[in-house]
Amino acid sequence: MGVVVQKYGGSSVADAEGIKRVAQRIVDAKKAGNQVVVVVSAMGDTTDELIDLAEQVSPLPPGREMDMLLTAGERISMALLAMAVGNLGHEARSFTGSQAGVITDAAHGKAKIIDVTPGRIRTALDEGAIAIVAGFQGVSQTSKDITTLGRGGSDTTAVALAAALRADVCEIYSDVDGVFTADPRIVPAARKRDRISYDEMLEMAACGAKILHLRCVEYARRYDMPIHVRSSFSLKDGTWITDQRDGDTMEQAIIAGVAHDRSEAKITVVGVPDKVGEAARIFEALADAQINIDMIVQNVSAADTNLTDISFTLPHADGQAAMSALTRIQETVGFASLQYDDQIGKVSLIGAGMRSHPGVTAKFFTSLAEAGINISMISTSEIRISVVVDEAQVDDAVAATHHAFDLDADDVEAVVYGGTGR
């Protein structure tokens, strides 16, 4: 009997009705002859609501308590789902991440999985039960405290369990039918992809596509675990994410999709002396403050000033810390000033076919120019081009690019079944 791991997101289990609907799907998978393991997220916007609550009682809640609080969201949905499955006449047992053997490091709020020992899940399956596991959580190997894997981390729980249990597939259920060529909330004519490679999906997740957690895709690629992203609201086949190694019979699209991200801000270090070692000093200060930098641009020195400007993007959330870290080294580096801009957005074009198709960049920039969109930063990888634009123009940039690369579907395919988009 094959093992199937299914993960249901918060919008799929937003209320009692949703939980009963999901329970029926789980039972159907079991009846089809599989051993079924389910990973579930917190109901609807529960996690956001718990964060709001925490912020009302403390401006800076300790990570340990925050994780204790947030993991409660998944415990509610796992128990309710187990009851709903039981009510359909099948035995289901719920497990916290810790009980399921998800062992992590001790970094509260962003713990990394270091081992998965799913002994109790195995036993439950062998005894004919359906195992239901709370997503996005584990237990620290060292402190034994409860940890969370970061927002959206249930996807990673699902893939990690699937790999540890040698499942045939990890099915990720959400409120859209799969991975689209753009966010259907912005481009209604976005097209569903039947297949995408791990590499493309990694770039899309890193560039803001919220459909899958980045670490989940990294994990799936490392263990070669096929992911099937699909809707819990329909029976349609979704998008398969695999390494596509032997899939050369199908035509490969040049462009996999257009992703966007509004979660970054831009800092410009103005008037940096143009001499050896200054950039190193700036980025060392940021690294010491644990700040992840994304794009970097160093402008050409103005002819006779011997000064340059260095701009980079980083998560909004790290903006304050980065500005303080840079202010501390202002005198030693000798730069003139700092500028902070959080009204930016990043738009990325992703596709493995770019490697062998010249002219993609030119077409991308032309489509943005025709839409009257100014580009303030550019970065590329082998299979991606990203630009930073004014935040107010992100939607237009996504739509223009999608159109220019003929990605628009003839008929609207994208259905957004639920979720508040929060």
CB of 201 to Mg ion, least distance (A): 14
Residues 363-392 within binding reach of Mg ion (CB under 5 A): none
Using CA atoms of 126, 128, 129, 130 in order, give the dihedral in degrees to the nearest 10: 90
CB of 218 to Mg ion, least distance (A): 15
For 126, counting Cβ atoms within 10 Å of its Cβ (0-12 exposed, 13-18 middle, 19+ buried), the class is exposed
232 touches which of ligand ASP, Mg ion, none (CB within 5 to 8 A by kind)?
Answer: none
CA–CA distance, 291 with 386 (Å, rounded to integer): 20
User: For Mg ion, which is the closer residue by CB, 51 or 279?
Assistant: 51
Give 212's DSSP letter. Answer: S
Query: Would you count residue 319 as binding ligand ASP (CB under 6 A)?
Result: no
CA–CA distance, 192 with 174 (Å, rounded to integer): 14
Identify the CA nearest to 162 among candidates 241, 237, 256: 241
User: What residues are paired with 3 via a beta bridge?
Assistant: 35
Can you say how many angstroms the Cα of residue 283 is from the centroid of all Cα atoms in its chain?
Answer: 25
Query: Would you count residue 319 as binding Mg ion (CB under 5 A)?
Result: no
Stretch that binds Mg ion, among 16-24, 111-119, 146-154, 373-381 (CB under 5 A): 146-154
Residues 47-76 within binding reach of ligand ASP (CB under 6 A): 47, 73
CA–CA distance, 61 with 48 (Å, rounded to integer): 14
151 touches which of ligand ASP, Mg ion, none (CB within 5 to 8 A by kind)?
Answer: ligand ASP
Residues 149-208 within binding reach of Mg ion (CB under 5 A): 152
Query: Would you count residue 73 as binding Mg ion (CB under 5 A)?
Result: no
Residues 127-166 within binding reach of ligand ASP (CB under 6 A): 135-136, 151-154
Query: Would you count residue 242 as binding ligand ASP (CB under 6 A)?
Result: no
Residue of 11, 12, 41, 313 interacting with ligand ASP (CB under 6 A): 41
Cα separations (Å) of 102 from 72, 82, 96, 115, 418?
16, 19, 9, 6, 29
User: For ligand ASP, which is the closer residue by CB, 153 or 178?
Assistant: 153
Binding residues (CB under 5 A) for Mg ion: these are: 9, 152
Contacting residues toward ligand ASP, per CB under 6 A: 9-10, 41-42, 47, 73, 135-136, 151-154
